[in-house]
Structure 1
Amino acid sequence: MAQLSTDDQRLLERRCKPVELSTGDILAAPHQPNGHIHFLTSASVALVVRHTDGSGLAVGLAGHEGAVGLQHALGLGVGNLTLHVQRGGRAYRADGETLHRLVTRRGNLLRAFASYLWGFSQEVASLAAASQTHDIKARLANWILLSHARTAQDELFLTHAHLADMLGVRRAGVTLAAVELKEMGLVDYQRGRIHILDIEGLRAVAKRPALSDGLPRACVAIV
């Protein structure tokens, strides 16, 4: 947490342990609460709403800018989200009850967590609106941009099956949209690898402002 004092950072670090997350891991689900908080350093985690038939829709993506499970530090439950690791990598894991006790004593930590959750809620609202108003190509371009922002990598490992699951659409729809983006010269892809060629072109397709790659700038410093 770059915006915290050195003392607060050390308090937080002593309550975390490093872990390695694998692509496809489920960190938490409505029927599998674990109370853990993960501060992500190189991994990225999608927040997915699952229906009873198994289909889903991603409503957020956290990466090296933030964390997942922070509601436990505020004394709240798991909710209705499934935390799906999109890109494996490193993270720091903390027990939610332990951090809940800590934030009741450290106002700066509480403000930092609440600020991040507020900023993330704006992204959730934006993705939800896009799922209703944008076509698959625009939504795919948006998810690619978001994945880029969360990993700072121009080459992404995203299969069509995974993207279809995140966008809540059929795989055939993602395939057609990916072909269009490739024909426009915006991306290249092969066997689950997507290489970004023209980020400004992707922003135009996604209808995303040049300075908005996800969370408000005030929250980008939260790591």
Structure 2
Amino acid sequence: MNNPRNNHILSALPQKEYQRFSDYLEPVQLSLNEILLESNRKIELLYFPTQGVVSLISAMGDGSTTEIGLIGKEGMVGTLQFLGDGILNSQSVVQGEGTAMKIDTEALQVEYDRGQMLQKLLLRYALKLFNQVSQCAACNNHHTVKQRTARWLLMLDDRSDHETLLMTQQLLSRMLGVRRTGVTEVAKEIQRRGIIDYHRGKIKILDRDALEAVACECYQVLKDWSTT
């Protein structure tokens, strides 16, 4: 069931404000690999995930890609575009299927301009998301493929409602912006150590503490930011 209050922003709204705002919300399904927002295009719809995970993916001119952020039920897909000029040079792609509440940008603008709790929550979340994007950019530049793989799996698991994560090596290499062979070697090593179980595009974390030990410090930094 798609419960709007599963989304942390919507659940934090006072009842009176939520009741007025909920008239604009429409439930939708999020399908794996579905593109919700295209890069460099004006947005018309925004999404409050209630279950599932959405990746922010930056693409280079040569076709290479790197994930720069993850959004789950703690936030809103399209936050940075909405608070900016409506355009961002990254795609928003469903990484973990689920559900969301979508809203027209004009309707959200009306509620935002009231200057009530919704505005405060979106500004607060935008800062957290900006910090996440900045930290991920630094992580991608300074840490090893093994550390980044562990950090990414932990972040995905934090936002997923499923015990098993759907992830092919090709997709993981795309998220991390590295060669598939590098991801394959890392996945095999982590699996040999009994930290994850990886079979036919499905990953299950068996030892979370050990996976956190493999990850770089970025994971804890991002986790602390997301809970403040």
* TM-score computed with the length of structure 1 as normaliser: 0.91
Q: 1:177 aligns with which of 175, 182, 186?
A: 186
Q: CA deviation at 1:100?
A: 0.9
More deviation, 161-170/62-71: 62-71
Distance in 2, matches of 1:32 and 1:75, equals 13
**2:6 corresponds to 1:6:** no
Mapped partners of 1:32, 1:72: distance in 2 = 10
Partner of 2:208: 199
Provide the rounded CA distance (Å) in 1 between the counterparts of 2:171 and 2:42.
23
> 2:110 aligned with 1:64, yes or no?
no
Contact 2:69/2:129, CA 8 A, preserved across alignment: yes
Change (3 A) 1:120 1:214: farther
Q: 1:200 to 1:207 in 2, by over 3 A?
A: same
Shift of 1:210: 5.7
Instruction: Find runs of 4+ consecutive structure 1 residues off by over 6 angstroms.
Output: none
| Partner SS, residue 27 of structure 2 | strand
1:83 lines up with 2:89 in the alignment:
no
Shifted more, 153-162 versus 134-143: the winner is 153-162
1:213 aligns with 2:223: yes
Single out whichever of 159-168 and 119-128 deviates more from structure 2: 119-128
C-alpha root-mean-square deviation of aligned residues, in Å? 1.8
Equivalent residue pairs, number:
218
Q: Is the 8 A contact 1:74 1:100 kept in 2?
A: no
Q: Which residue of 1 aligns with 2:30?
A: 21
1:150-184, Cα deviation, whole Å (9 max, x unpaired): 11433111111111110001111111110111112
Q: Which runs of 5+ in 1 are unaligned?
A: 219-223
Give the superposition deviation at 1:85: 0.8
Unaligned runs of 5+ residues in structure 2 are: 1-9
Structure 1 residue 34, shift from structure 2 partner: 3.4
Which aligned pairs between 1:1-223 and structure 2 lie closer than 5 A? Answer: 1-74=10-83, 76-208=85-217, 213=223, 215-218=225-228
Q: CA deviation at 1:73?
A: 4.3
TM-score by structure 2 length? 0.89
**Greater Cα offset, 30-39 or 152-161:** 30-39
Identity %: 33
What is the one-letter code of the residue matched to 1:213? Answer: K
Compared CA separation, residues 173 and 97, structure 1 to 2 (3 A): same
Matched-pair contact (CA < 8 Å) for 2:51–2:72: yes
Residue by residue, what CA displacement relative to the aligned partner does 1:199-223 show, whole Å, maximum 9, x if unpaired? 11111111246685374213xxxxx
Encode CA deviations 1:41-72: one digit per residue, 9 max, x unaligned. Answer: 11210001111222111000011222111245
Whole-Å Cα distance in 2 between the matches of residues 95 and 84 of structure 1?
A: 18
Q: Distance in 1 between matches of 2:192 and 2:174?
A: 23
